[in-house]
């Protein structure tokens, strides 16, 4: 193994970028080629089916069986032209990633042969034998039937030889077993709640869309080096590894020239993404060495989230073609930045108005302020829940670890919007909110500067930052399904908008003018949030933690405890009122989250224990033997003063021995702690016990990393940080 480490490193270092076969034509020519989008619908469906299908997508009108058959026939024709042989319902269970079970299109033709078939029934519903997906007890295994149901709002697409149909995954009793079902409910809830408010400003509005623009951070590691690290392979992160002398301190990777092998990977990924209709836009080096980012143009949230899942799948497979493995873990390497997935989130109407951006006139600005303030109120009320929505065993390594995000949800507004809100508290309720400069110099007027979107200040330490026309929820983990966060924020905002509208109706009933009524409802809300959820300072500072606690914001750092927030009375009320989750779904999902938390920590703990005993201690003992031989040799040649001659060896032997005994003791203690945790019946209690085990892994790591510093480099069995992070 030892000599092979240097061979692996050399092999990895000398790899060249693989030549790419680029498609002919521009991205705009092949964009969406592998998606059954509206252009294909026009081409492959008759006029009646097309109309029915569009009504189904745009207005939620269900398809009858005959039309579903016609739509399926159109899809089949298109798919066969692309060499498709299989079909799958593609869904997002409560595990990491997506699930698919491929069925070949063949069926007997009753003449002794087979034909390709695909009908409306197989398009609309499937019954995967999905008893092994996490369900938190909703689907007892004896009736292990969940079913998948087509989501017509997300277009079917082709991956390799398979037609993929985006679906929800639910139990036979109707409970959600996936991420998509509650997301779709929450997006509907926020649209329904926002609609009557939008109609005050523009009666033509019929629908409110949620938009999501995710920014996916990731690491790339050479696959040969990866394969030599059991911890990376099994847990997605390094459980040990001494910091490299150089890491990100020179800021020379960020936005630097993209290494050629990586650039080839990115190009192939972009072509594949564009063919799947994913509007991939941005690629760049991130802060940490071998860390990169990819971002598309934002889109409707349900589709954007599907596309994020599709991109993650593409990245996994395309990276391997280029000799890399992509790491989505939030903290693959200690001591350098981890990876997140910023969720840029906004609301807009079907008439093209962005609800979280300043308007064209005073009424437009009032609408903007109405939504802006209500979003902040929702974030304040459910700050603990929002944090819970991004909490996981893996994201725990970023949360509160002096890097984005802090384990406290607060909102950054920037100077301009903070001033606007403060001003609104002072002026009479009928004061118009103008765009600066339009009405000359102002005294007493409330103004928003022009070109505001491009000029918002930035605060990288804030988990929920306003950036001119959207909020950027930065706490989402790089491996997470965005739906967890988007469902929660959408449902919370829906609840707040419902309450706001009720209060507004009361004011209007008393005969007030609509502008005044709106401001009269908004003012007490502004007063209650401006000094609580709004915070523009350094989110990483210790003072902020104390100040946040004083303000009543949630400062919990233990993930299992955060998860509990989902079943507290305020959350249950909010989720049931908006129709997003039932109580039993909330309870079941908590069980699943605690279970997954335990399993992830358990796997890490096992891998760490085994690597300590099977990889690190043996290497340390090999080196100790070399040193002891040296000492013995010195003693023979210099019997008098061997202690001076072999001082380094003697000292190092002692240090190695100390580390080895410390390690052995700590691994034993950790194993005992696991045994105690494993017999706990209650999922929450078990997860809390595993939380302590997760903490103990930091302490086990110390002697491991010390040994790496001491042991002869030639004898060290694992690729080191400097090799994993600087070869690409
Ligand atoms: P950064 O936040 O790193 O400065 P950008 O300004 O390029 O990056 O924007 C990040 C993401 O925000 C992009 O994916 C972009 O499409 C998305 N975005 C821009 N405007 C909106 C919006 N109104 N709603 C949702 N996402 C948006
Ligand atoms: Mg960003």
Q: Starting from the CA of residue 308, give the closest ligand.
A: 1
Distance 419 CA to ligand 1 centre (A): 24
Distance CA 396, CA 401 (A): 8
The encoded tokens of residue 585 equal 């779904």
Give me the residue label for tokens 């210099």. 638
- Any atom of ligand 1 within 6 Å of the Cβ of 611: no
Chain centroid, CA 280 distance in Å = 17
Q: Which atom of ligand 1 is nearest to the CA of 215?
A: 14
Q: Name the closest ligand to CA 342.
A: 2
Residues pairing with 326 in the sheet = 220
Q: Is the minimum distance from the CB of 213 to ligand 1 under 6 angstroms?
A: yes
CA distances from 154 to 89, 301, 311, 372, 503 (A): 12, 10, 15, 28, 36
Q: List the chain residues with pLDDT less than 50.
A: 1-2, 141
**C-beta separation of 302 from 168 below 8 A:** no
Q: Which residues contact 256 (CB under 8 A, 6 or more apart)?
A: 285
The protein residue with its alpha carbon nearest to ligand 1, atom 3, reads 215
Check: CB of residue 248 under 8 Å from CB of residue 336: yes
**Peptide bond preceding 394 in cis form (omega within 30 of 0):** no
Q: Tokens at residue 375, please? A: 């979003």
Packing angle of the helix pair 483-509, 301-321 (nearest 10 deg): 170
DSSP 191-211: HHHHHHHHHHH-TT---EEEE
Compute the distance between CA of residue 293 and CA of residue 279 in angstroms, rounded to an integer: 15
* Phi, psi (deg, nearest 5) at residue 189: -60, -45
Helix (H/G/I), strand (E/B), else coil: 16: coil
CA of 468 from ligand 2 middle (Å) equals 12
341 lines ligand 1 (CB under 6 A): no
Residue 258 CA, ligand 1 centroid: distance in Å: 22
If phi over 0 gives left and psi between -120 and 50 gives alpha, with beta otherwise, what is residue 73?
A: alpha
All residues at 6 or more sequence positions from 54 whose CB lies less than 8 Å from its CB, including other chains: 38, 41
Give the other-Cβ count within 10 Å of 416's Cβ.
Answer: 19
Whether the CB of 453 sits within 6 Å of ligand 1 = no
Q: Provide the H-helix boundaries in 382-447.
A: 383-390, 414-426
C-alpha distances in Å from residue 98, one per residue of 58, 119, 340, 618? 25, 24, 19, 39
User: For ligand 1, atom 13, which residue shows the shortest CA distance?
Assistant: 213
Taking the C-alpha atoms of residue 429 and residue 634, their distance in angstroms, rounded to an integer, is: 90
Ligand 1 centre to CA of 298 (Å) is 7
- Residue 407 alpha carbon to ligand 1 centre in Å: 23
**212 — phi, psi (to 5°)?**
-130, 130
How confident is the model at residue 1, as a pLDDT?
47
SS3 311: helix
Helix segments in 565-646, DSSP class H: 569-577, 583-611, 617-637, 642-645
C-beta of 297 in contact with ligand 1 (< 6 A): yes
Q: Is the CB of 211 under 6 A from ligand 1?
A: yes
Ligand nearest to C-alpha 345? 1
Nearest residue to 698 (alpha-carbon basis) of 274, 396, 304: 396
**Ligand 1 atom closest to Cα of residue 212:** 25
| Alpha helical stretches, state H, 255-353 | 260-275, 301-321
What is the predicted pLDDT for the residue at 402? 57
- State the number of CA atoms in the 13 A half-sphere of 114 facing the CB: 8
Ligand 1 centroid–CA 372 distance in Å is 17
Mapping DSSP to helix (H, G, I), strand (E, B) and coil, where does residue 725 land?
Answer: helix
Beta strands 433-435; 446-448: pairing state: parallel
For ligand 1, the distance from its centroid to the CA atom of residue 100, given in whole angstroms, is 30
Distance CA 662, CA 660 (A): 5
Contact 469 CB / ligand 1 (< 6 Å): yes
* Whether the CB of 470 sits within 6 Å of ligand 1: yes
295 C-beta closer than 6 A to ligand 1: yes
The model scores a pTM over 0.75: yes
**Rounded distance between C-alpha atoms, residue 100 and residue 86, angstroms:** 11
3-state SS class at 453: helix
Residue 298 near ligand 1, beta carbon < 6 Å: yes
**Ligand 1 pocket, residue 216 CB under 6 Å:** no
Asked if 652 and 621 touch (Cβ cutoff 8 Å), the reply is no
Token pair for residue 7? 């061979």
Q: Which of 281, 282, 295, 305 to mutate for ligand 1's pocket (most ligand atoms within 8 Å of CB)?
A: 295
Q: Please spell the DSSP secondary structure of 460-473, one letter per residue.
A: TT-SEEE-SSSEEE
Tokens of 166: 């985006």
Between CA 721 and CA 242 the distance in angstroms is 7
d(CA 196, CA 178): 30
In the prediction, which pLDDT does 137 show?
Answer: 76
Q: What percent helix, strand, coil does the chain show, rounded to 5?
A: 50, 15, 35
CA of 264 relative to ligand 1 center, distance in Å? 25
Question: Atom of ligand 1 at shortest distance to CA of 356?
Answer: 23
CA of 341 to the centre of ligand 2 (A): 9
- For residue 214, the CA-to-ligand 2 centroid distance in Å is 8
């Amino acid at each position: 193994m030892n000599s092979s480490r240097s061979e692996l490193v050399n092999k990895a270092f000398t790899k060249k970028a693989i030549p790419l076969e680029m498609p002919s034509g521009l991205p705009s020519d092949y964009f969406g080629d592998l998606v059954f989008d509206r252009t294909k619908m026009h081409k492959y469906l008759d006029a009646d089916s097309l109309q029915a299908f569009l009504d189904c997508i745009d207005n939620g009108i269900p398809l009858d069986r005959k039309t579903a058959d016609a739509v399926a026939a159109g899809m089949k024709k298109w798919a066969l032209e692309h060499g498709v042989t299989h079909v799958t319902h593609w869904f997002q269970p409560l595990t990491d990633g997506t699930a698919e079970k491929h069925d070949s299109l063949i069926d007997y033709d009753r003449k002794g042969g087979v034909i390709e078939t695909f009908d409306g029934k197989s398009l609309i519903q499937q019954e995967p034998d999905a008893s092994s997906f996490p369900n938190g007890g909703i689907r007892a295994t004896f009736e292990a039937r969940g079913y998948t149901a087509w989501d017509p709002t997300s277009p079917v697409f082709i991956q390799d030889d398979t037609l993929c149909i985006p679906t929800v995954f639910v139990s036979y009793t109707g409970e959600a077993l996936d991420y998509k079902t509650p997301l779709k409910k929450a997006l509907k809830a926020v649209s329904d709640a926002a609609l009557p408010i939008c109609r005050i400003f523009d009666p033509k509005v019929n629908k409110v869309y949620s938009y999501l623009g995710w920014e996916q951070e990731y690491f790339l590691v050479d696959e040969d080096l990866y394969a030599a690290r059991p911890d990376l392979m099994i847990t997605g992160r390094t459980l040990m590894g001494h910091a490299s002398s150089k890491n990100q301190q020179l800021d020379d990777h960020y936005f630097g020239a993209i290494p050629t092998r990586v650039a080839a990977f990115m190009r192939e990924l972009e072509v594949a993404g564009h063919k799947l209709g994913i509007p991939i836009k941005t690629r760049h080096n991130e802060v940490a060495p071998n860390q990169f980012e990819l971002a598309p143009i934002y889109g409707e949230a349900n589709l954007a989230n599907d596309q994020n899942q599709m991109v993650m799948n593409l990245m996994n497979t395309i990276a391997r073609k280029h000799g890399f493995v992509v790491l989505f873990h939030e903290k693959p390497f200690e001591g350098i930045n981890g990876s997140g997935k910023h969720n840029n989130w906004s609301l807009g109407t079907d008439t093209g108005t962005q609800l979280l951006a300043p308007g064209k006139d005073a009424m437009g600005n009032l609408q903007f302020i109405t939504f802006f303030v209500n979003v902040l109120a929702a974030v304040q009320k459910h700050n603990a829940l929002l944090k819970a929505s991004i909490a996981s065993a893996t994201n725990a390594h970023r949360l509160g670890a002096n890097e984005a995000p802090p384990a406290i949800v607060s909102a950054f507004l920037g100077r301009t919007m903070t001033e606007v809100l403060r001003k609104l508290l002072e002026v009479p309720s009928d004061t118009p909110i103008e765009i600066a400069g339009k009405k000359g110099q102002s005294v007493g007027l409330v103004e928003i500067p022009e070109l505001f979107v491009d000029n918002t200040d930035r605060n990288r330490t804030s988990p929920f930052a306003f950036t001119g026309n959207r909020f950027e929820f930065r706490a989402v983990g790089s491996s997470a399904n965005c739906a967890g966060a988007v469902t929660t924020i959408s449902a919370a905002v829906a609840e707040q908008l419902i309450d706001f509208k009720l209060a507004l109706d009361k004011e209007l009933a008393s005969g007030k003018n609509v502008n005044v009524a709106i401001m009269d409802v908004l003012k007490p809300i502004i007063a209650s949030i401006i000094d609580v959820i709004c915070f523009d300072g350094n989110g990483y500072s210790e003072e902020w933690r104390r100040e946040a606690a004083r303000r009543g914001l949630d400062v919990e750092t233990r993930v299992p405890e955060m998860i509990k927030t989902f079943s507290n009375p305020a959350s249950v009320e909010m989720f049931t009122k908006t129709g997003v989750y039932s109580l039993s779904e909330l309870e079941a999902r908590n069980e699943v989250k605690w279970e997954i938390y335990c399993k992830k920590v358990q796997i890490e703990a096992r891998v760490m224990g085994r690597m300590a005993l099977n990889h690190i201690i043996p290497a340390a003992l090999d080196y100790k033997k070399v040193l002891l031989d040296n000492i013995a040799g010195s003693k023979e040649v210099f019997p008098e003063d061997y202690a001076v001659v072999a001082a380094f060896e003697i000292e190092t032997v002692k240090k190695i021995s100390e580390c080895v005994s410390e390690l052995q003791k700590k691994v034993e203690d950790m194993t005992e702690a696991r045994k105690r945790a494993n017999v706990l019946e209650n999922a929450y209690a078990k997860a809390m016990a595993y939380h302590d085990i997760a903490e103990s892994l930091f302490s086990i790591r110390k002697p491991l990393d010390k040994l790496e510093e001491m042991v002869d480099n030639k004898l060290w069995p694992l690729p080191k940080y400097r090799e994993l992070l600087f070869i690409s």
